[in-house]
Structure 1
Amino acid sequence: MLTQPMAGAVSDRSGWMGRWGRRRPFVALGVALVAGLLVLMAGARTFAAIALIYAAMQVSASIAEASLQGLLPDLTPPEERGRASGFKNAAQIAGFVAGVGLGGILAGRGQIGLALIVAALMVVATNAWTLIGIAERPVKRLRCRKVGAADALRTAYGSFRIDRKAAPGYTRLLAGRALLMAGYFALQGFAQYFIADNLDAPDPASTTALLMAVMGVAVLVLAVPTGMLADRIGRRPLNLFAGVLGALATLALVLVGAIPQLILVGGLVGASVGIFLSANWAWAADLVPPNEAGRYLGLSNLATAGASAFSRLLAGPLVDGGNALRIGLGYNLLFTLLAIAMFAGTALLAGVPETRSVQPEPLAEPATVDRPGRQP
């Protein structure tokens, strides 16, 4: 969680690879480490080894992702960042679905090692295609200098600082994003418990899988069109609409008493997520300083990951405490507080400056017709 801003900051300032650019060397490094660790995990036999490898893999993935994120504002003009953000989110969802699906099939056959090796090959193949196809601008090769411990600590601390003059509104954007994403993550984490405790579903796991599938399809379908729309009408309107829709849909869960109702409301929540992710990420890409995109977008992911951990940490005791007083009360309290958090996040986003100014097309001047015998 803490790696991305620091890795992004190093990527922003790197110039030692010259014609390879600032981002691609770190993407290649992170991808190589992830692939190697996946293969290593395939042979792990103890919990301690798996935990250690997994932690190292998270750090390695953050190194690659921090630089990949920085490429979007580096290479995409402002008027196309919404569309690029939509494709980015759609690709992430598609990759997640493909990985879970294929991995689940192989793991179900007892071929967990093969699943990890296939994952490593997919990571290398997809990112190699990306690295080869990217036309990143070369940078002037800089001379390496010795860096002391004090310099390294100063750089690490500075990775988490936001310059309000260079990025006006970015702090509010991160706070609003954290509150909205906290609601989404808590709903995802506690969906199966809610279904089992409140809806008397015969197979809570299957119902939860159906709910997640509906939400995932909604995100996937809306990611690209929403991004393109954000380029046309601006970032703020879609962010605010997604926040209000998500809050109202979350509050509606208090009234859900049957599985069809849950699936309908879940689809609305998924639509909110799909709209929000594309429009919000394009907004963030607009706000970041051009030379520090890796660091600032790494902070955006830090807000997302922090919201996920914090919301689930608080939601558990809240649900247990409420249900101890009355069956179902814990979930009603959870949904109500999450809706309030989403409304608060939306209010924060309303104060972030719009970055995509949409100018109306000028009206065509009426054509003049020359009449015979008349001089202008």
Structure 2
Amino acid sequence: MLTRIRQAPPNFLWWSVNRILFWSAAIAIRTFLLNYLDDVLGLTPAEAQAMSSRLLIVLGTGIFAIALPAGMLVDRIGRRPLLMAAGVLAAVGGAILIVGQSLAFTFVGCGLIAVGAGIYASASWALATTLIPTAEGAFYLALANSVIIVGSAGGRLGGPLIDGLNWLFGTVALGYQVVFAIATVFFAGSALTAKMITSSNRT
């Protein structure tokens, strides 16, 4: 299996890196959002839970509302440009979360991430279908799903980092800022890796 993975088309490997970066960044922000509202913004546990639910609704609604129109744009604009746009939008949203520690900035940042995620959801899988070798479709689809698992697991590794930094520096915010900064870099990195995928009339 490792031999087959090493022999995968370079474009598919770049797509895999792109998906790991974007997915792990999105999962990291979603995973620690509730704790961020409680620890940094000073909401009570009940208030943080309610606000987290609202923000997740914003994220979910944004992804759903954007995914369908983005899907219609994929064939007109191309998969790569939309992937790059998704990474940039999500990176801007992540940066807003870092610099603006308020509910208003949190909603704006999460909103931009939701828009980016909606675009990404359509463009990423559309691009994958053009990169997977037809003769080995089942293997590469399984590999693509494994990439999602890797990204999901990676996004949840920020907990010890948050706790460790906050304990080390005696603060409640630094750990979250560092994890959000890493997520922002990952979003931006996903845009760069999308650019590395060789252009064709289908991408």
TM-score norm. by structure 2 comes to 0.91
2:39, 2:173 within 8 Å by CA — same for their partners in 1?
A: yes
Match of 2:32 among 177, 180, 190: 190
1:346 matched to 2:191? The reply is: yes
Letter in 2 for 1:320: D
Inter-partner Cα distance in structure 1 for 2:102 and 2:31: 19
Partner of 2:175: 330
Per-residue deviation, 1:188: 0.8
Inter-partner Cα distance in structure 2 for 1:269 and 1:283: 20
1:179 matched to 2:24? The reply is: no
Q: Write 1 or 2 for the structure with the bigger share of helix.
A: 2
Unaligned runs of 5+ in 1: 1-156, 359-376
Partner of 1:238: 82
- Aligned identity (percent) is 30
Aligned positions of 1:1-150 closer than 5 A:
none
Inter-partner Cα distance in structure 1 for 2:117 and 2:35: 21
Inter-partner Cα distance in structure 2 for 1:241 and 1:180: 12
Letter in 2 for 1:328: A
Partner of 1:248: 92
DSSP-derived class of the 2:5 partner: coil
State the structure with more CA Rg: 1
Distance 1:277 1:352, change over 3 A: same
Per-residue deviation, 1:252: 1.3
Per-residue deviation, 1:163: 3.2
Partner of 2:7: 163
After superposition, the CA RMSD in angstroms is 1.8
1:179, 1:344 within 8 Å by CA — same for their partners in 2?
A: yes
2:96, 2:106 within 8 Å by CA — same for their partners in 1?
A: no
After superposition, the C-alpha distances for 1:203-231 in whole angstroms (9 at most, x for unaligned) are: 11111000000000000011111011011
Per-residue deviation, 1:306: 0.7
Unaligned runs of 5+ in 2: none
1:283, 1:355 within 8 Å by CA — same for their partners in 2?
A: no
Inter-partner Cα distance in structure 2 for 1:162 and 1:305: 19
Runs of 4+ in 1 over 4 A off after TM superposition: none
1:286, 1:355 within 8 Å by CA — same for their partners in 2?
A: no
Task: Determine which structure has greater relative contact order: mean sequence separation of CA pairs < 8 Å that are 6+ residues apart, divided by chain length.
Answer: 2
Inter-partner Cα distance in structure 2 for 1:225 and 1:163: 35
233-242 vs 335-344, which moves further: 335-344
Inter-partner Cα distance in structure 1 for 2:141 and 2:135: 12
Inter-partner Cα distance in structure 1 for 2:93 and 2:6: 33
TM-score norm. by structure 1 comes to 0.51
DSSP-derived class of the 1:161 partner: helix
Inter-partner Cα distance in structure 2 for 1:349 and 1:289: 19
Per-residue deviation, 1:162: 5.1
After superposition, the C-alpha distances for 1:70-93 in whole angstroms (9 at most, x for unaligned) are: xxxxxxxxxxxxxxxxxxxxxxxx
Partner of 2:159: 316
Match of 2:72 among 228, 231, 235: 228
After superposition, the C-alpha distances for 1:115-154 in whole angstroms (9 at most, x for unaligned) are: xxxxxxxxxxxxxxxxxxxxxxxxxxxxxxxxxxxxxxxx
Partner of 2:59: 215
Letter in 2 for 1:345: S
Per-residue deviation, 1:254: 1.0
Distance 1:238 1:207, change over 3 A: same
Inter-partner Cα distance in structure 2 for 1:178 and 1:308: 8
DSSP-derived class of the 2:196 partner: coil
DSSP-derived class of the 1:308 partner: helix
1:215, 1:269 within 8 Å by CA — same for their partners in 2?
A: yes
